[in-house]
């Protein structure tokens, strides 16, 4: 069993999953894995159930990390969603995480790092909205609370005939946060100019030092967001901000050695201004010490990093051996936060 998750939490998780157990879900994953990897579906199902029950591995984690292709020792080098959620729940203050969860609260607290104009439609006037639209002919509208890019929209104000009616429509849809569009670094624009290609970096602040636990570069396909729900994909990054394998979606069979549209190399990608990104995160991660374990989305602009948002559950990004050939996950880099969570759990 993994020592990362406390026995009581594991038991609660197991009981909750048992109560809601539906064989069709794991069987669906087992059949998909068997078809994609030439395995025997019943054997995959049994393997998956064992790892769900005793090794903190959800069915989707088993599939996305290609566990069916890995040895037991190799699997244990990977992070899983349950372990990640345990770390976040153990270490992050349940009230202060709302500062990150709500994008309006985030902008108020991290204005120095977000570095772009924004407007709260519900706490501003029509004149404020019209002025914002004049300064920014293209606007980004967001639902203040949302994940995976599902609440992000882009509007060309030249297509809006009635500003008052459009403002009311945005409010009715819950798209009450407006942002100035981010201008990304020319190097990133070469990959996909139509989408801001962001870098996800997970950090842990131990009270003295900010540890970088994981890095992943996301690439868009021209939509408003680079998330998977908009057709995006990612590649894992080493400690120097360089890709260490082809990109993939993590959601199905995929492999991107080059960007499908631009043809730019994914395997040779290097985050521009990486040293500045690290220094930037070292400062930002200290701003909310009660939420020490965070996954940050960074956009690199022409003159430096821009903080897009912070996620108090950092999001699970791992390599896939079927796409990259890499058989080792990021768990070793998470040792500082794993140790901190174990220590916190032992004191309770």
Residue 141 is predicted with a pLDDT of 97
How far apart CA 27 and CA 33 sit, in angstroms, is 10
Residue 226 is predicted with a pLDDT of 85
CATH 3.30.1490 boundaries in the chain: 117-179
How far apart CA 181 and CA 135 sit, in angstroms, is 11
* pLDDT single digits (tens) 182-233: 999 999 999 999 999 999 999 999 999 999 999 999 999 998 888 887 789 9
Residue 1 is predicted with a pLDDT of 37
Closest CA to 295 of 79, 129, 111: 79
The crossing angle, in degrees rounded to 10, of helices 335-346 and 81-91 is 60
Residue 10 is predicted with a pLDDT of 58
How far apart CA 98 and CA 112 sit, in angstroms, is 19
Does the predicted model carry a pTM greater than 0.75? yes
The crossing angle, in degrees rounded to 10, of helices 41-54 and 24-37 is 120
CATH number of the structural domain 117-179 = 3.30.1490
Distances in whole angstroms, Cα of residue 33 to Cα of each of 117, 186, 253, 296: 45, 39, 10, 31
CATH 3.30.470.20 boundaries in the chain: 91-103+184-337
**286 φ/ψ sector (left φ>0, alpha ψ -120 to 50, else beta):** alpha
CATH 3.30.470.20 fits 91-103+184-337, yes or no: yes
Residue 342 is predicted with a pLDDT of 93
| Residues of the chain below pLDDT 70 | 1-21, 149, 348
């Amino acid at each position: 069993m993994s020592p990362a998750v406390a026995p009581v939490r594991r038991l609660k998780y197991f009981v909750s999953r048992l109560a809601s157990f539906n064989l069709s879900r794991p069987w669906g994953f087992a059949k998909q894995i068997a078809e994609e990897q030439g395995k025997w579906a019943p054997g995959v199902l049994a393997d998956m159930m064992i790892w769900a029950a005793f090794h903190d591995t959800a069915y989707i984690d088993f599939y996305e990390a290609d566990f069916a292709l890995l040895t037991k020792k190799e699997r244990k080098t990977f992070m899983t969603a349950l372990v990640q959620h345990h770390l976040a729940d153990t270490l992050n203050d349940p009230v202060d995480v709302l500062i990150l969860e709500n994008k309006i609260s985030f902008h108020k607290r991290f204005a120095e790092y977000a570095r772009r104009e924004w407007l709260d439609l519900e706490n501003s006037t029509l004149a404020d909205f019209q002025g914002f639209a004049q300064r920014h002919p293209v606007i980004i509208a967001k639902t203040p609370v949302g994940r995976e890019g599902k609440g992000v929209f882009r509007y060309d104000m030249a297509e809006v005939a009635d500003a008052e009616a459009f403002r009311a429509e945005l409010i009715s849809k819950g798209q009450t946060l407006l942002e100035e569009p981010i201008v990304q670094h020319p190097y990133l624009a070469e990959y996909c100019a139509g989408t801001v290609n962001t870098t996800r970096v997970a950090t842990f602040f131990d009270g003295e030092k900010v540890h970088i636990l994981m890095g992943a570069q996301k690439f868009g396909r021209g939509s408003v967001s680079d998330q998977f729900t908009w057709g995006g994909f990612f590649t894992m990054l080493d400690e120097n901000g360089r890709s260490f394998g082809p990109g993939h979606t993590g959601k199905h069979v995929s492999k991107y050695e080059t960007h499908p549209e631009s043809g730019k190399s994914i395997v040779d990608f290097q985050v521009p201004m990486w040293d500045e990104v690290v220094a930037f995160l070292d400062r930002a991660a200290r701003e909310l010490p009660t939420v020490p374990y965070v996954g940050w989305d960074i956009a690199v602009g022409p003159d430096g990093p821009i903080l897009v948002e912070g996620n108090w559950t950092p999001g699970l990004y791992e390599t896939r051996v079927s796409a990259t050939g890499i058989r080792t996950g990021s768990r070793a880099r998470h040792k500082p936060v794993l140790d901190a969570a174990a220590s916190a759990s032992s004191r309770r």
